[in-house]
């Protein structure tokens, strides 16, 4: 691990002063915030991230870890721990997809440490990104090529890829946020702003090292989830190689508004198969106004993966993703909704 300066920020203003590095955060040596450290410290030990300064933001927990549920919806502080949110009885009842996406992630120990803000900013698990003995990784070293294209790419993405990077976005919580129309609140040197969570992540295109639309040094402060009338009929289905402590091969976060046996409204987000938390808007449009019969579900799943491209080892993800989505929609339709 490369030596670095450690600084503990007592409030957001202090965090922003140090977090606002003179280099873009995509550069490996840019300053980094430290929340739970479960991604950052791993990558520092691997020499993949080599920040000059680490700004510990855990003192902000006093003000930025609240879980607030009101008539307008749910507000989750970015420093809230994954386990605290997953264990909340109110969230489990009213926003099940949120609780499930967190509960099915990582391990109990990691969920106790890891924050929501750090979760959505976790980096890809692409083996070539995490192993610096491979020189060709455009995400780690821009312009160096992509080892995964010709290498082992079983875990890689089939949606949102580019010639320069096919790395999968590994998280689960991000899909739940998209399925419930969440907004993200951020604070930077220019003040505060909020925008749809679906706009936080960037597809790789020709610059895979730039992963988000955050401005230099911006701090994520909270996530807000509106009181969608059908948030109670939402779920997260995660398919993986083993049933715990494993990243998704394919996942689906769905929320369903039913009128009798017809779908009045729906949200669909896919994980494990795409370079960013992926909203399947075409699939949603196909399902609105229809029943959940087998033919419709086949059309919906085909629409969700219409632009999918496999790269050899991961070809199976197209069919697996379709089946995961179909099963998630059927399970959501069959849910008993608590009053």
Ligand X SMILES: Cc1cc2nc3c(=O)[nH]c(=O)nc-3n(C[C@H](O)[C@H](O)[C@H](O)COP(=O)(O)OP(=O)(O)OC[C@H]3O[C@@H](n4cnc5c(N)ncnc54)[C@H](O)[C@@H]3O)c2cc1C
| Residues engaged in binding ligand X (CB under 6 A) | 32-40, 42, 78, 105-106, 110, 113-115, 117-119, 121-122, 171-173, 219-220, 247
Residue 138 contact among ligand X, ligand SF4, none, beta carbon within 5 to 8 Å by kind: ligand SF4
Q: Does 169 sit near ligand SF4 (CB under 6 A)?
A: no
Distance from the Cα of residue 14 to its chain's centroid: 27
Q: Does 276 sit near ligand SF4 (CB under 6 A)?
A: no
Residue 32 contact among ligand X, ligand SF4, none, beta carbon within 5 to 8 Å by kind: ligand X
| HSE, side-chain direction, 13 A CA sphere, residue 245 | 4
Q: How far is the CB of 11 from ligand SF4 (least distance, A)?
A: 35
Q: Does 146 sit near ligand SF4 (CB under 6 A)?
A: yes
The interface with ligand SF4 within residues 80-139 (CB under 6 A) comprises: 124, 126, 128-129, 137-139
Q: How far is the CB of 121 from ligand SF4 (least distance, A)?
A: 15
Pairing mode of beta strands 53-56, 67-70: unpaired
DSSP output for 28-61: TTS-EEESS-TTHHHHHHTTS---SEEEE-GGGH
Q: Does 165 sit near ligand SF4 (CB under 6 A)?
A: yes
Residue 147 contact among ligand X, ligand SF4, none, beta carbon within 5 to 8 Å by kind: ligand SF4
Q: Does 159 sit near ligand SF4 (CB under 6 A)?
A: no
Q: Does 39 sit near ligand SF4 (CB under 6 A)?
A: no
The interface with ligand SF4 within residues 173-202 (CB under 6 A) comprises: none
Name the DSSP class of 306. Answer: T
Residue 126 contact among ligand SF4, ligand X, none, beta carbon within 5 to 8 Å by kind: ligand SF4
| Rounded CA separation 291/282 (Å) | 16
Closest CA to 213 of 226, 197, 225, 224: 197
Closest CA to 51 of 12, 7, 81, 14: 7
Q: How far is the CB of 128 from ligand SF4 (least distance, A)?
A: 4
3-class SS at 263? strand
**The binder of ligand SF4 chosen from 166, 231, 237, 250 (CB under 6 A):** 166
Beta bridge partners of 33: 55
Closest CA to 277 of 23, 130, 134, 97: 97
3-class SS at 304? helix
State which residue, 43 or 228, has the beta carbon closest to ligand SF4: 43
Q: Does 328 sit near ligand SF4 (CB under 6 A)?
A: no
State which residue, 32 or 326, has the beta carbon closest to ligand X: 32
3-class SS at 327? helix
| Rounded CA separation 48/27 (Å) | 11
Residue 128 contact among ligand X, ligand SF4, none, beta carbon within 5 to 8 Å by kind: ligand SF4
Closest CA to 230 of 250, 205, 257: 257
Q: How far is the CB of 32 from ligand X (least distance, A)?
A: 4
Question: CA Rg, the chain, in Å?
Answer: 20
How many residues bind ligand SF4, per CB under 6 A? 14
**The binder of ligand SF4 chosen from 208, 217, 272, 277 (CB under 6 A):** 208
Distances, alpha carbon 163 to alpha carbons 91, 190, 193, 315, in Å = 40, 35, 33, 17
The residue nearest ligand X at its CB is: 118
Binding site residues, ligand SF4, CB under 6 A:
124, 126, 128-129, 137-139, 146-148, 165-167, 208
């Amino acid at each position: 691990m490369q030596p670095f300066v450690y600084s503990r920020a007592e409030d957001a203003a202090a965090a922003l002063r140090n977090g606002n590095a003179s280099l873009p955060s995509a550069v490996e040596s840019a300053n980094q915030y430290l929340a739970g450290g479960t991604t950052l410290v791993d990558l520092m030990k691997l020499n993949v991230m080599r920040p000059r300064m680490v700004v510990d933001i855990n003192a902000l927990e006093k003000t930025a870890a609240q879980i607030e549920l009101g008539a307008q919806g749910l507000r989750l502080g970015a420093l809230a721990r994954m386990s605290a949110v997953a264990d909340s009885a109110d969230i489990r009842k009213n926003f099940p997809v949120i609780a499930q996406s967190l509960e099915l992630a990582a391990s109990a120990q990691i969920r106790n440490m890891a924050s929501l803000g750090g979760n959505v900013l976790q980096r890809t698990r692409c083996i070539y990104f995490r192993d610096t003995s491979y020189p060709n990784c455009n995400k780690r070293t821009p312009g160096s090529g992509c080892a995964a294209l010709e290498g082992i790419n079983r875990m890689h993405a089939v949606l949102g890829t580019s010639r320069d990077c096919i790395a999968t976005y590994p998280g689960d919580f991000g899909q739940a946020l998209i399925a419930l129309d969440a907004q993200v609140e951020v604070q930077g040197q220019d003040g505060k702003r909020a925008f749809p969570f679906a706009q936080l992540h960037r597809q790789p295109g020709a610059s895979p090292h730039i992963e988000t639309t955050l401005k230099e040094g911006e701090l994520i402060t909270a996530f807000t989830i509106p009181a969608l009338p059908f948030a109670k009929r939402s779920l997260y289905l995660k398919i993986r190689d083993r049933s715990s402590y494993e990243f998704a091969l394919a996942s689906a976060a769905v929320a369903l508004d039913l009128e009798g046996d017809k779908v009045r409204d729906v949200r669909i987000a896919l994980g494990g198969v795409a370079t960013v938390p992926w909203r399947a808007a075409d699939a949603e449009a196909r399902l609105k106004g229809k029943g959940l019969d087998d033919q419709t579900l086949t059309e919906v799943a085909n629409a969700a993966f219409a632009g999918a491209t496999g790269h050899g080892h991961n070809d199976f993800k197209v069919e697996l993703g379709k089946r995961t989505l179909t099963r998630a929609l059927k399970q959501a339709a069959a849910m008993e909704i608590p009053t």
